Amino acid sequence: MENSYQALNDILVVLFNDIMDIEQDAIITGEFRDITNNDMHIIEAVGMDEPQNMSSIAKKLSVTMGTLTISMNNLVKKGYVVRQRSEEDRRVVYILLTEKGVRAYRHHEVFHHEMIEAVVKNLDGEEKGILIKSLVRLKKFFLDYKKKHEGKESR
């Protein structure tokens, strides 16, 4: 039991410490050197399906509107997204990816596809199910922990 605890602890600590740096090195390359990993995740949240308004993007990313506005202004300047007013209600502003934004989205998508393929390529169906169940529990732990501790850091 102690060996498996230590192995899991070591794996998770290394993953959490390195994942953003590794992703940054993998996807912020070539044409996309002018943005950050955070910018790439905003592009991912904007997505390619339906136009998104700022509040829905902020909610997806769990950031404030002020934080998102600063980042969005930079992405507009760099040509990754555009703002477009709704025809039905001119007060509503939608965010859409430009062609450059779509290329960045696809580039990020390829990295994530390769990452998932590397994780599951030698797993059978039962092992994939166990992995998914375990990661769902880990995600639930973090969500519960966040809820439990929200607001405590400001006290």
pTM for the full predicted model: 0.82
Does residue 155 register a pLDDT over 50? no
Q: What is the dihedral of CA 103, 107, 109, 110, to 10 degrees?
A: 140
Classify 51 in phi/psi space as left (phi over 0), alpha (psi -120 to 50) or beta: beta
Residue among 86, 110, 95 at smallest CA distance from 45: 95
Query: Over the chain, what is the mean pLDDT?
Result: 91
Dump pLDDT digits (tens) for 67-103.
999 999 999 999 999 999 988 888 889 999 999 999 9
- Given CATH 3.90.1150.10, say whether it is the number of domain 2-121: no
Q: What is the dihedral of CA 69, 73, 74, 77, to 10 degrees?
A: 170
Provide φ and ψ at 48, rounded to 5°: -120, 5
Domain residue ranges of the chain, discontinuous segments joined by +: 2-121
